[in-house]
Amino acid sequence: MAYIELKNINKIYPNGFHAVHNFNLDIEKGEFVVFVGPSGCGKSTTLRMIAGLEDISKGDFLMEGRRVNGIGPRERGVAMVFQSYALYPQMTVFDNIAFGLTLQGVDEEVIEERVKNTARILGLTDYLDRLPRALSGGQRQRVAIGRAIIRKVNIFLMDEPLSNLDAKQRVTMRSEIAQIHRETGATTIYVTHDQTEAMTLADRIVVMKDGYVQQIGTPYELYFKPANVFVAGFIGEPPMNFLRGKVQNGAIRFGDQRLDLSRRLPGIGDWEGKPVVFGFRPEAVRLGEHPDAYQVRCQVELTEMLGDNTNVYIKAGEDLAILKVDSHDTPETDAELTFSIPYGSVYLFDGETENTIG
């Protein structure tokens, strides 16, 4: 029996909008699970149903085998961190962190000990006497997290907690959240639209689109074994490249080029005349011609030098793609070049269903 079970969870609003469709997921105790997907995909709505802030229209939500659909947020034993810090501006950091315990009537000595311990974990010891306006965005978010973890609940729910931070602060806070999870061991469900956050934090990731679960798996599984075009294109930075066409005589054609799919898909004859999507990741390519690889001719449209690597935007036939190459190998804009894709680094998808082939 899993620690948390979501069985055929649906959310249908009074106006008829179906926000979440048949969501199924088992979460083990101590797991860090991330819901990821574009805005409006239903990830935050699902989190709010878990928290008890949204009613479940259909389905069953179980905690340790007990159905808790009708139980309020307080009784579920969860703590939630929101996108906005939601701190009390007139209270010090100490009082903000202690607020929940104060409402519960916990003894002052116990509160002081637990606040100081929480502040130590979060690196806030030197800021306990300050008001929120005297803190940076990252420090305010740590206070919000501290207010959640001090309650010593078993489940933390985080709804895009880093979205208001700048890029450098997000990197720092990601590592701090990972460290907090290791120290507390609490089950954590985290919502984000940022696939980098999902890949770096999660034990497992739930990818959602239009209210439907697209795939559930470890970061490795989603990156190397995507279930469909959407997952393949969503996970990875830069995203996976796609060349679309029909199978003709065992190959996919684009422009005047032909790629023999029999090397990647035995039984390609069954796909004759059918649309397929040929996918490859930007970092999988090598410039020039190499053995045991597809050779593709292209023209360079644009380059972005990022330090240790360069994103090369190219056009092959009518398709656009991105290559990730060593900065020392950066080609000139408008240059013509050939790159190689190892046979084992190619993904094929059904052009109609967009599901992975094989």
Give the whole-angstrom CA distance, residue 133 versus residue 90: 9
Q: Looking at the predicted structure, is the pLDDT value of residue 73 above 90?
A: no
- Whether 331 and 313 map to the same domain: the answer is yes
Element (H, E) at 346: strand 346-350
- Whether 47 and 112 map to the same domain: the answer is yes
- Whether 206 and 248 map to the same domain: the answer is no
User: Is position 19 within any domain?
Assistant: yes
Q: Averaged over 318-332, what is the pLDDT?
A: 93
Which of 173, 199, 234 finishes a domain? Answer: 234
Nearest residue to 7 (alpha-carbon basis) of 65, 74, 85, 84? 65
User: Is position 318 within any domain?
Assistant: yes
pLDDT recorded at residue 206: 98
- DSSP letter at 226 equals -
The domain in which residue 36 lies consists of 4-234
Q: Which two tokens stand for residue 19?
A: 């926000």
- Whether 179 and 89 map to the same domain: the answer is yes
- Whether 70 and 149 map to the same domain: the answer is yes
pLDDT recorded at residue 147: 86
- Sort 129 into a burial class: Cβ within 10 Å, 0-12 / 13-18 / 19+: exposed
Give the whole-angstrom CA distance, residue 127 versus residue 155: 26
Q: Averaged over 28-43, what is the pLDDT?
A: 96
CA dist list (Å): 96 to 129, 142, 148, 164, 186: 10, 11, 10, 19, 21
Higher pLDDT, 168 or 33: 33
Q: Averaged over 122-138, what is the pLDDT?
A: 90
pLDDT bin (cut points 50, 70, 90) of residue 18 is very high
Q: Are strands 187-192 and 32-36 parallel, antiparallel or unpaired?
A: parallel
Q: Which residue carries 């997000």 as its tokens?
A: 170
Q: Averaged over 132-139, what is the pLDDT?
A: 88
User: Is position 356 within any domain?
Assistant: no
- Whether 270 and 219 map to the same domain: the answer is no
Q: Looking at the predicted structure, is the pLDDT value of residue 222 above 90?
A: yes
User: Is position 357 within any domain?
Assistant: no
User: Is position 355 within any domain?
Assistant: no
User: Is position 101 within any domain?
Assistant: yes
- Whether 317 and 172 map to the same domain: the answer is no
Which of 234, 258, 291 finishes a domain? Answer: 234
Q: Averaged over 279-301, what is the pLDDT?
A: 95
Q: Looking at the predicted structure, is the pLDDT value of residue 134 above 90?
A: yes
pLDDT recorded at residue 256: 83
Residue 95: φ, ψ to 5°: -70, -35
Name 239's Cβ contacts closer than 8 Å, sequence gap at least 6. 232, 233, 282, 322
- Whether 264 and 134 map to the same domain: the answer is no
Whether the CB-CB separation of 175 and 123 falls below 8 Å is answered with no
Q: Averaged over 202-216, what is the pLDDT?
A: 98
Sequence letter at residue 101: L
pTM: 0.90
- Whether 198 and 130 map to the same domain: the answer is yes
Percent of the chain, pLDDT > 90?
A: 67
pLDDT recorded at residue 83: 74
pLDDT recorded at residue 184: 82
Give the distance from CA 40 to its chain's centroid.
14
Higher pLDDT, 135 or 358: 135
- Whether 82 and 215 map to the same domain: the answer is yes
Which of 234, 257, 282 finishes a domain? Answer: 234
Q: How many helices (H) and strands (E) does the chain have?
A: 9, 20
User: Is position 60 within any domain?
Assistant: yes
Sequence letter at residue 160: E
Q: Are strands 241-248 and 275-280 parallel, antiparallel or unpaired?
A: antiparallel
Please provide the distance, in angstroms rounded to a whole number, between the alpha carbons at the two ends of the chain. 32
pLDDT bin (cut points 50, 70, 90) of residue 262 is confident
Q: Averaged over 52-70, what is the pLDDT?
A: 95
Supply the CATH number for residue 263's domain. 2.40.50.140
Element (H, E) at 51: helix 43-51
User: Is position 103 within any domain?
Assistant: yes
pLDDT recorded at residue 239: 94
pLDDT bin (cut points 50, 70, 90) of residue 72 is confident
pLDDT recorded at residue 34: 98
Nearest residue to 209 (alpha-carbon basis) of 332, 53, 34, 35? 35
- Whether 19 and 135 map to the same domain: the answer is yes
Express each pLDDT in 143-173 by its tens digit. Answer: 988 888 887 778 999 998 888 778 887 888 8
Task: Please tell me the total count of domains within the chain.
Answer: 2
- Whether 105 and 200 map to the same domain: the answer is yes
Q: Which residue carries 């985080």 as its tokens?
A: 158
pLDDT recorded at residue 280: 97
